[in-house]
Amino acid sequence: MPEEEKKVPEPGKEEKVPEATKPAEGAGAPAGSSTPAGATPAPPLPEGGEKKRRVRRKKPEGEAPAAAAEGAPGEQVPVLEKIEFDFEFPPLFGKWSWKEVVVLDISLKNYINLDPVTVPHVGGKYANTPFGKHKMNIVERLINNMMRTEHTTGNKAKTYRVVQDAFEIINQKTKKNPIQVFVEALEVAAPKEEITRLKYGGISVPKAVDVAASRRLDVALRNITKGATAASKKNKKRLQQCLADEIMKAAAGDMQSFAIAKKDEIERIAASAR
C-alpha cells in the first residue's frame, strides 16, 4: 500500500490541532507547575536558570533612615551649629602686628600699603602692571629697594633676612612696633618740594614744584636704602644694623640720617627757586 503523502501547510495558514489533543477545560495543571488551570504556560527558562522574585521589605516603625551617620541604629545625627571664627591679621615675620600701625600723613595714606602678610613676597606679581607697586606691601618694597649693590642684586632671600634682623634691632632699641617706626620714617623723610628745569631761549631756569604723593614715597624709600648701604661700606657694622639705625634716625628727624639730610637739601634748593 503506498505511503500517504504528507501535507505541507501553505504559507500564512496555521495547521489545525485536533480537538482531542487540546487540554480539557477545567482540567488541572500538571503536577509541579505553578501555572493556573486554563492559563497559557510561560516559556521555559534556560537550563540552570531560576526565576527570582523581588520581595519588598517593610521598614519597621522607629528605624533610622539609611543616610544616618555611623552609630547604633535609631540614633539621630546631631545638627552642628554654624560657628563664626574671628581670624586675626597674620603678623609680619610671625611677630609684628599690623593692627597698631597708623599712617598720619594724609597724602601718603593711599600709597603706603599695609595689607597684613606674614611673608612679604608676591613673586613679581605686579612687575609689569602700571602703578602696580602701590598694591605691593610696603615692607616688601623696602626689601626690593635693598637689592642695590653687587652683593644683594637679585638675592632677595638675603635682603629678606636683613630687613627681618633690622626690625628685630628696632624693636629691641625703641620697644615699639618696627612697622610703625618704619612708616614714621617714610612720612618724615618724604620731601614735599623739589625743583624742575624750565628752558627760556636756551637758558634753563630752576623752578620749585610740589611733589606727587607717589613720588614722595618712592624718594623716601630710595634715600633710606641708599643711606643704609652707603653706611655699611668700610664699616664694622653689618648691613642690618645700618638699616635699623637709618630707619630710627629718619623717624626721629635726625640730621645724621642720609634720607633726612637729602630731603632738607632738596627743599632748601626748592625754596630758593620759588
What phi and psi, each to the nearest 5 degrees, are found at residue 7? Answer: -85, 125
Task: Read off the pLDDT band of 79 (50, 70, 90).
Answer: low
User: For 176-192, what is the mean pLDDT?
Assistant: 94
pLDDT in tens, 206-254: 899 999 999 999 999 999 999 999 999 888 899 999 999 999 999 999 9
CA distance 230 to 221: 14
Reply yes or no on whether the pLDDT at 80 is more than 80.
no
Task: Read off the pLDDT band of 37 (50, 70, 90).
Answer: low
* The pLDDT of residue 89: 73
Q: Cell numbers at residue 187, please?
A: 612720612
Task: Read off the pLDDT band of 51 (50, 70, 90).
Answer: low
Are 229 and 166 within 8 A, CB to CB? no
- CA nearest to 138, candidates 94, 175, 103: 103
User: For 190-209, what is the mean pLDDT?
Assistant: 90
Are 257 and 250 within 8 A, CB to CB? yes
* The pLDDT of residue 19: 54
Against a cut of 0.85, is the pTM above it? Answer: no
User: Which H helix or E strand runs over 33?
Assistant: none
- CA nearest to 246, candidates 155, 178, 160, 194: 178
Residue whose C-alpha cell is 620714617: 185
User: Who has greater pLDDT, 88 or 149?
Assistant: 149
CA distance 154 to 157: 9
Which domains does the chain carry?
132-191+213-255 (1.10.455.10)
Question: In b/e form, how buried is each residue of 46-60, taking b as 16+ CB within 10 angstroms?
Answer: eeeeeeeeeeeeeee
CA distance 267 to 59: 90
Reply yes or no on whether the pLDDT at 62 is more than 60.
no
